[in-house]
Amino acid sequence: MLDGLSSGLTQFARDTGRSDLEAVISTGSTAITPQSWAYAEAYLDEDHIVGRARQRAAEVGAVPVGRGAGAALRMLAAALGARTVVEVGTGCGVSGLYLLSGMRVDGVLTSVDIESEHQRLAREAFTEANVPANRTRLIAGPALEVLPRLTDGAYDLVFCDGDKTEYSDYLQQALRLLRPGGVVAFDNALWHDRVADSAQRDPDTVAIRELVRLVREDDHLVPALLPVGDGLLVAVKRPD
């Protein structure tokens, strides 16, 4: 059904000479308003521990996931019954807290960040949340040096919120790390409204736009681009 809708919109766009976006709008889809977006972001309350982690992140300049994206990550982890999760970009622990709260009680979060000070603050957040020490494995170092050392096919979920220019490389690593049926997710997939604007050509925007294309065209993935937070690109790895 989804494949049919996508191909139908593409054909409609060709027939009418309109862009795919114009085709979506003309078929009756309603653009979300800022008011509705804010309502969705605030739909679920954020507890005080996550709030403190978010405050620490603001103090050190480590921009965390938004509330809507965090809620989506927690839901994905819960739906997968995730025991093993990889996170690229620990930050100060905001996304980690969301992921851990959705994972199984015996689940382990492996989180990678180049900033060891950010990881120290994340540990504080995990301790405040009474997360057992054996449920987190924080690794300081460049993601593209750490990820190749992790085990193939051993993870339920891979979440990426690191260097945007490396997103396509993270995707290749994620496909190797995920089990069949596992999920990869990328934050900032809309990148402050720049990805949808073809006039924007800065390196981060171009890299994210390329990632979106790669995910969309990969037959091994079932993707969706969710307009939560700053955009969350998610995809399920099809069984072999």
For 179, other C-beta atoms within 10 Å of its C-beta total 16
What per-residue confidence (pLDDT) applies to 160?
98
For the chain, how big is the Rg over CA atoms in Å? 18
Find the mean pLDDT for residues 30-51.
Answer: 90
**Per-residue pLDDT tens digits for 102-130:** 999 999 999 999 999 999 999 999 999 99
Q: How far apart are CA 231 and CA 215, in angstroms?
A: 14
Locate 124 and state its tokens.
């504080």
Report the chain's mean pLDDT, rounded to a whole number.
91
pLDDT at residue 17 greater than cutoff 80: no
pLDDT average, residue stretch 129-153: 98
Among 208, 180, 183, CA closest to 194: 208
Query: What's the distance, Cα to Cα, between the start and end of the chain in Å?
Result: 21
Look at residues 113, 71, 108 and name the one whose alpha carbon lies nearest to residue 92. 113
| Tokens (6 digits) for 45 | 């309350």
- Phi, psi dihedrals of residue 114, rounded to the nearest 5°: -80, -15
pLDDT in tens, 194-226: 999 999 999 999 999 999 999 999 999 999 999
**Please, which residues bridge with residue 185 across strands?**
159, 234
The CA distance from 197 to 1, in Å, is 28
Answer whether 94's CB lies under 8 Å from 54's CB: yes
Q: What are 58-84's pLDDT values in tens digits?
A: 999 999 999 999 999 999 999 999 999
Q: Looking at residues 168-179, what average pLDDT do you find?
A: 98
pLDDT for 76: 98
pLDDT for res 32: 79
Q: Hey, what amino acid is at 74?
A: R
- pLDDT in the model for residue 22: 59
